[in-house]
A and B are shown apart, each in its own frame.
Chain A
Amino acid sequence: MKKSLWILLTVILAIGLLAACSPKEPAATATAPAVTAPTAEPVVQDQPVTISIWHQWSGDYLNAITEAFNEYTVAHPNVTIDLSKPEDTSNALSVAIPAGEGPDIIGWANDQIGTQALAGNIVPLGDYGIDLTFLNSTYEPAAVRGVVWQNMIWGLPESQEGIAMVYNKDLVSDEYLPTNPLDFEELLTKAQAFYNATGKYLVCNQGLGNPDAYHVAPIYFGHGVSEYVDDQGMVHLNSPEALAAGEWMVRFKAFAPAETSHDICKAMIVEGNAGAWWTGPWAIADLEAAGINYGIIPMGKPFVGIKALLLSKNAVDRGNQAVAIDIMKYFTSGSVQAKIAAANKTIPAPTAALMDSAVQALPSLRGFGASLNLGVPMANTPYAGAQWGPVGDATTAIWNGAQTPQEALDAAQAAAEKAIDDMGG
């Protein structure tokens, strides 16, 4: 009797394991309902629906954002919004979307648009009543450029971000501050004067001494490089302008820390070993917590990243696209983004929010806004993936003295071209 009981248990276990491993029923994808006609009217949802949003917002940022979504669900009682932040969005999407378990809306950076559009995880918004006229009349020009790829609209821009020189007002007097954001000779002279006067570094840039193509972008672009890699897959890394930037770094090295990272730069400015930190709005909370009396000035031409809401393929499969787009429009509207900008000190993408008087009064907006104004939009082409490694490595080799600027940038050009070849575009 006992033996047969054991056999029974084993069979149950084996069946359980088999069931766990068997593929899920493709119910969600197989029964895709007919696409409803696009509508410009506010959507009236008569059936309860849950819209799931995968996002990248964290910490205190999220509070104001959750509040905004709560207001939407109060006004639309049939809509529930489920916010979640997966660890590794890219891999999570490639598994969840084919299984029909992906989100309806993805809040992400615009540089993901090309890759996700190639994979088919996101859908163009042109089919659902969003056109360029609406985009141009609602959002800032750089933000509009950031969400259009291959002449299709792939998302609605929410906010913009980029880096500027954030300095400690108590440590750096006006005489050491560069007055022209594109005059790097002036920055060099002032860094030297500051170093000679105080024995401290004027500015810590975590892209100098640490492979980080994003944080050195203001220096390359500020010297006249148009883009690292363009939408056609052309690489612009050994141009005379890039070389000029490399040679400037060699001279600047004497007055800047040899090794850097986000944490080193943060420690340096908080402990008073550096006068300024070339960083973005995400660092402000830390500086405020440390009680630093900071100011923000533009320097060079930074990368302008655009945070956008993208519509996932699964939203269309489930027939949720009309509600999803309504939520996207609501969240990226001037009034909502103005509120969020005031709380989070972000730079809003909707023009109406940027012009809001409360937003205009924010000191961080004036500093970062002036910097972003000069900036280069983050490329949304998948080719841009080839720029990060080579630019970061070449800059680090220049900074360490392992290679001359010419050698380093020639190698970067070759490496980026090879990476683009490998992508098989």
Chain B
Amino acid sequence: MVGWSGRRKTLTILMFIAPTLLGILVFSIYPLVLNTFISLTNRGKFRPNPDCSSPIWNIVEPTCWLGEPPKGLAEPYAFNDPILKNYTDLLGGLFTGAALVAVARLVLILLPLWIAWYVNRRLDRQLTRPVSSGLIWLAGLVGAVLLGWLINAPAAYSALLKSGDFIMVNVRTVLYVLVCMPLFFVTGLVLALILHNQNLRGVPFFRVVLIIPWAASTVAIMMTLIWQFFFRQQGTINQLIGSALNNYRPVTFLNSAGWAFAIVVLVNLWYTYGFFMVTLLGGLQSIPLDMYEAAEVDGANWWKQLTSITLPLLRPVAMPVIVLSSLTTYKIDAIVWALTQGGPIAGAGTPGATEFVMVHAYKQIFQTQAFGRMGAFAVILFIALFAATLYSLRLTQITKGATE
């Protein structure tokens, strides 16, 4: 056997990666191309079939590859005129004056927080800090709340919601992610800190029990239905209160927008805290104990140790977890569908209070079968999520080791 010659080596490497490359092409790239293509057309219930006599369709449409597709009574689908019609239909409302002003008002609320971040960064460079960073963050937060009250944030929010269903569900979903993440993190952290305690007995048992909801996520729908039963008019909670109180009129939790939103948050918290708990526990175990010993010698109390040692050193573990969980929470579907089906419904043609992005897409596509428009929906989401993922990769430096 002779050694590796250049060409043979290249060929061998190519052969090794060919199956994966082919897999990526067939299962990732091609569906993206096809979907983008369909998003430019008027494909729908009344125009379900491609026109295989045209060369572009013949290349892109899989039904054309198998021979002639069936010819029904319908016309074949064609490019939209103007070609981006599906996109302008979805996003058009965002580029009106009222909606842009609303976005600007909401962004303005974040200004005090940005100032707090900037001031803290400047102060970090000085040898001694005149004020602690927590105090400045608090001031920023108070400023944001005050500003929100001054420019009437709820009004701006509802103005933004009125600028179109697509924008409404997206803004609501972002709000949902913003509400969920701190809850997930704090719950996961508290449980991780408790389980990290060396003096606690039976830690292995609790570790296993607490991770069950996350680990058993394959039965998520079944468990979600049980959660739903808790909150129904005839459900467990109402029955419990009813047996304790006389003349109690059962509350229909899932018919109230606020309650339904809170319940969807709660159930998702129940599924996700285990993931946060386990990863943060791993992070805690990787922090050297001598740091705490040194801090104790210096007279730092528990809170000081938490904020100055534990949290900063958990950051490399916590950031990827929060970013990944934000992305999956943004795409939440099955749990919401099983709990509320996007409801409570505020009326026909208006997305319900818990109709998040994926639930909305599902409802739309099965009601109208407007595949072209939903293709555009998917492309816009893809661009947004892709940008978010790239940014988060930079933020968390997940791939740092691989690229160095």
Contact = CB atoms under 8 A, between A and B. Distances in A.
B315 interface: no
Interface stretch (A73-81, A365-373, A405-413): A405-413
Contacts of A397: 345-348
Contacts of B346: 397, 402-403
14 contacts: A3-B1, A17-B22, A26-B67, A98-B67, A99-B66, A258-B233, A258-B252, A268-B234, A382-B46, A385-B368, A389-B348, A408-B347, A412-B348, A414-B348
Given A259-B233, A402-B345, A98 B255 contact: no
B16 A10 contact: yes
B251 to A, nearest CB: 10
A411 B349 contact: yes
A388 B48 contact: no
Contacts of B48: 94, 115, 118-119
A411 B18 contact: no
- B contacts with A: majority SS: loop
B349 A21 contact: no
Given A14-B18, A21-B22, A211-B345, A389 B367 contact: yes
A121 interface: yes
Interface string B16-32: 10110011001000000
Contacts of A419: 367-368
A396 interface: yes
B46 A400 contact: no
B347 A411 contact: yes
B75 to A, nearest CB: 9
A411 B348 contact: yes
B308 interface: no
Contacts of A118: 45-46, 48, 72-74
B339 to A, nearest CB: 13
A258 B255 contact: yes
Interface in B31-79: 42, 44-49, 62-63, 65-74
B66 A24 contact: yes
B368 A422 contact: yes
| 3 closest cross-chain pairs (CB), A and B | A120-B72, A26-B67, A415-B349
Contact of B349 (A3, A13, A29, A393): A393
A103 to B, nearest CB: 14
A397 B348 CA distance: 8
B112 interface: no
Nearest to B232: A259
B373 A422 contact: yes
Contacts of A29: 66-68
B233 A14 contact: no
A158 B345 CA distance: 37
B345 A424 contact: no
A154 to B, nearest CB: 10
B46 A424 contact: yes
B285 interface: no
Contacts of A385: 45, 367-369
B66 A424 contact: no
Nearest to A260: B233
Contact of A423 (B16, B254, B341, B369): B369
Interface residues of A, number: 64
B350 interface: yes
B15 interface: yes
Given A21-B22, A403-B346, A423 B74 contact: no
B364 to A, nearest CB: 9
Interface string B269-287: 0000000000000000000
A7 B10 CA distance: 12
Nearest to A99: B66
Interface residues of B, number: 50
Nearest to B231: A259
Interface string A1-31: 1010001001101100110010110100110
Contacts of A11: 15
A425 B74 CA distance: 9
Given A26-B67, A29-B66, 6 more contacts: A14-B19, A18-B22, A23-B62, A120-B73, A389-B363, A423-B44
Contacts of B49: 119-120
B370 A422 contact: yes
A30 B68 CA distance: 9
Contacts of A115: 45, 48
Contacts of B70: 97-98, 119-121, 313
A418 interface: yes
A394 interface: yes
Interface in B172-212: none
Given A258-B252, A422-B373, A117 B72 contact: yes
Contact of A264 (B18, B67, B232): B232
Contact of B12 (A7, A264, A268, A412): A7
Contacts of B73: 117-118, 120, 150
A386 B364 CA distance: 10
A408 B45 contact: no
A397 B70 CA distance: 41
A408 B26 CA distance: 46
Contacts of B45: 115, 118, 382, 385, 423-425
Nearest to A90: B369
Interface string A241-263: 00000000000000001110000
Interface in A105-155: 115-121, 150
A94 B43 CA distance: 14
A162 interface: no
Contact of B345 (A386, A396, A418): A396
Nearest to B8: A7
A390 interface: yes
A412 B367 CA distance: 13
Given A211-B341, A423-B46, A388 B348 contact: no
A387 to B, nearest CB: 10
Given A150-B73, A386-B367, A424-B44, A100 B345 contact: no
Contacts of B26: 21
Nearest to B63: A98
A389 B254 CA distance: 19
Contact of B234 (A14, A264, A393): A264
